[in-house]
Amino acid sequence: MANLHLIEDDSGDVVDYLVFCSDSCQQDYMASSVCCYDYNGWNGCNEISTTQPCQNCGDIVPGLDEE
């Protein structure tokens, strides 16, 4: 399961997302100087289609392609 940070356009439509392995990694990344997004609260327990690395620590976040 993944923590996701949804990226919206000016209309409020989701146009992209960032994948994290945990809420703490998401918070750390959002607080870092690398990031330009605000932490908008917990958004965990999401299924993702394909396995991807965590945006913050690089750990593998399994997707549905792993099942």
The region that residue 45 occupies, defined by phi over 0 for left and psi between -120 and 50 for alpha, beta otherwise, is left
Which pLDDT does position 67 carry in this prediction? 57
Q: Which helix (H) or strand (E) holds 61?
A: strand 60-61
- Based on the structure, what is the number of domains in the chain? 1
Q: Supply the range of the domain harboring residue 55.
A: 3-66
Which pLDDT does position 15 carry in this prediction? 97
Consecutive 10-residue averages of pLDDT for the chain (67 residues): 95 96 96 89 95 97 86
Tens digits of residue pLDDT in 15-27: 999 999 999 999 9
Reported pTM: 0.90
Which pLDDT does position 53 carry in this prediction? 98
